[in-house]
Structure 1
Amino acid sequence: MANSKYEYVKSFEQPDILLPNTWIVVRIDGRGFHKLSDYYAFKKPNDRRALDLMNAAAVEVMNDLPDLCIAYGISDEYSFVFHPSCELFERRNSKLVTTVVSSFTAHYIHQWNSYFSSTPLQPRYLPSFDGRAVIYPNTQILRDYMSWRQVDCHINNLYNTTFWTMVLQGGMNNTDAEQELKGTVSADKNEILFKRFGINYNNELEIYKKGSVVYRQYELQDPNPVQTSVDDDDGSGASSVVPGSKPSRSQQDKLRKLRRKARVVVDHVDIIKDEFWDRRPWILSNAPGKLPIEQ
């Protein structure tokens, strides 16, 4: 490209490369979703259609970006996780965030009619999302972040379930229900649901209590395998990325191709305990596992 006297304006661009060898979480949130959910009459306390639409959009983002290793969603938010070895867009903050946000928004709008066929989108109330990237220095802190979001899911859902049951089934107004719930703990809310309305919170759908976990599915691993021999070839066609090393361009391309072969699944499980991670070591190792036989 030819130089011009105007090219000096490029000097005003600021570098925004995220720290190397750290986990990157791009968290998106719906903008103005209280008004949007009221306008399109989302069901209270949970609208399964809205959650399924969020999950469908998240699955497509995972398919679009094989560098992503896991995502977690509740309500109108989603957290997308890039491995420390990720070099996508040279780890530029703005590029990663805008790509995830725009891709998610595009898929959300594109699939809207599949879940809300009776209420087509209107120009005044189009869904939009914002996002930001946060880096975490090690795996334990990354897992603590994911645990924090799932704990929040439980706390918020128990409150909302109790609140809207008191309003919709108990005939209370919003202010009185909010005032009665002020200062209550989980046991109090469970008691209100069971004694007044015969609702056992434990029987609520897992998607509401635990949120949604999106990841690539490979053969589940035994968390306590019996060590018989050392085998360098796990059959996946790829080796784990050595911590602290920068994968070559060819290595990155190979890993992306392998990840694209795996099916992206949506699960509603406990990600706080070790079992989820131990049985799916490919999520934290960033090395594709063995594809299930049925694939």
Structure 2
Amino acid sequence: MAKSKFEYVRSFESEEYLLPNCWIVVRIDGKSFHKFSKKHDFDKPNDPRALGLMNKAASIVLEEYKDILIAYGQSDEYSFVLRKDTQLYNRRKNKLMTYINSLFSSSYVYYWRDYFKDVKLKYPPSFDSRVVLYPTDQNLRDYLSWRQADCHINNLYNTTFWALVLKGGLTTQEAEQRLCGTLSSDKNEILFKEFDTNYNNEPFIYKKGTILLRKKIKHPIKDKNRLVVIPLHKDLIQDDFWTRNSEILDIKACGFYEFKFSDIPELVLSQLHHLNIKDSAENDSDYKRVLN
């Protein structure tokens, strides 16, 4: 390509290359999502439509970028962990951050109607992103543990707060004052004694957030294995999760995960082209139970 006299301006550009042999975490966070959720009438304290959409957008990112080994999401944020030996985009910070963020954000808008049906998107949502490096496996585990602990703390507060407002008749200001200075045990007691709610029985997706992993599963109709992104709502703070999913830190081939046929999540079904499966199994009672 011929050069022009204006090409010198490229010398003003700069690139930041991330340190080698470090785990790369790209964390995406919704901008002003309190306002966004209020404008679109999200259910309180948790809206399964919003969480499902976040998980769908994140799964699209994992399908595109195979160097992402695990992702963790809660509320309006998602963290994507790239293998520490990745050479994706030559480890250029701006490329990794902007491409992952833009794919997530566009997927959120693209799949909006699949989850919110007749709720019109009133204005485009936006997400900020940052890149953080973690040099050791323990640093990475502690980071993910921090995000999951944050999920539990926030969800317990929000569950109690909205119980006081929606069921207890308090204003938002009164509910804030009631919860000011309370401990987790206090919030559990309020839920149990005043609203007959055992927080331990709340859905795990609300208390633990969502973990996305690649796993091999047996195709529910065809006799072969498929590699898919699966959602888990489990405790990742304890050692058991990392023992069961040792391929993450060891950077090895994906492990195998077994679903009961009727328990296959919709997020996984969408990767199995379940419309084609339906044609092959119209009379299969288990399959009909999955769809229903």
What TM-score, normalized by structure 2, do the two folds share? 0.83
**Length, aligned pairs only:** 252
- Structure 1 residue 292 displacement after superposition: 5.6
Query: Aligned with 2:165: secondary structure?
Result: helix
Q: Does 1:190 align with 2:188?
A: yes
- Structure 1 residue 262 displacement after superposition: 1.8
What are the ranges of 5 or more consecutive residues in structure 2 without an aligned counterpart?
218-225, 260-271, 273-292
User: In the alignment, which residue of structure 1 is the partner of 2:289?
Assistant: none
User: In the alignment, which residue of structure 2 is the partner of 1:68?
Assistant: 68
Query: Aligned with 1:144: secondary structure?
Result: helix
Q: Deviations over 1:26-83 (max 9, x none)?
A: 0001112111111110001000110011001111110011110000000000000001
Query: Aligned with 1:183: secondary structure?
Result: coil
Q: Deviations over 1:94-138 (max 9, x none)?
A: 00000110000111111100111121213xx21111101000111
C-alpha separation between the residues in 1 aligned to 2:45 and 2:22? 36
**Percent identity between the aligned chains?**
54
Q: Deviations over 1:123-171 (max 9, x none)?
A: xx21111101000111100000000000000000000000000000000
- Structure 1 residue 290 displacement after superposition: 5.0
1:219-234 to structure 2, matched below 5 A, reads none
User: In the alignment, which residue of structure 1 is the partner of 2:17?
Assistant: 17
Query: Aligned with 1:262: secondary structure?
Result: strand
C-alpha separation between the residues in 1 aligned to 2:119 and 2:199? 30
1:40-51 to structure 2, matched below 5 A, reads 40-51=40-51
C-alpha separation between the residues in 2 aligned to 1:273 and 1:2? 59
Q: Does 1:267 align with 2:265?
A: no
User: In the alignment, which residue of structure 2 is the partner of 1:155?
Assistant: 153
Deviates more, 1:276-285 or 1:84-93: 276-285
Q: Deviations over 1:193-221 (max 9, x none)?
A: 000010000000000000000011148xx
User: In the alignment, which residue of structure 1 is the partner of 2:254?
Assistant: 289
- What letter matches 1:143 in structure 2? R
User: In the alignment, which residue of structure 1 is the partner of 2:33?
Assistant: 33
Spell out structure 1 runs of 4+ moving beyond 6 A.
Answer: none
- For the aligned residue pairs, the C-alpha RMSD in angstroms reads 1.5
| Higher RCO (CA 8 Å, separation ≥ 6 residues) | 1
- Structure 1 residue 288 displacement after superposition: 1.1
What TM-score, normalized by structure 1, do the two folds share? 0.83
Query: Aligned with 1:55: secondary structure?
Result: helix
User: In the alignment, which residue of structure 2 is the partner of 1:108?
Assistant: 108
- Structure 1 residue 192 displacement after superposition: 0.3
- What letter matches 1:31 in structure 2? K
- What letter matches 2:242 in structure 1? W
C-alpha separation between the residues in 1 aligned to 2:152 and 2:257? 31
Deviates more, 1:89-98 or 1:279-288: 279-288
CA contact (8 A) 2:214 2:254 kept: no
Q: Does 1:279 align with 2:244?
A: yes
CA contact (8 A) 2:247 2:253 kept: yes
- What letter matches 1:84 in structure 2? K
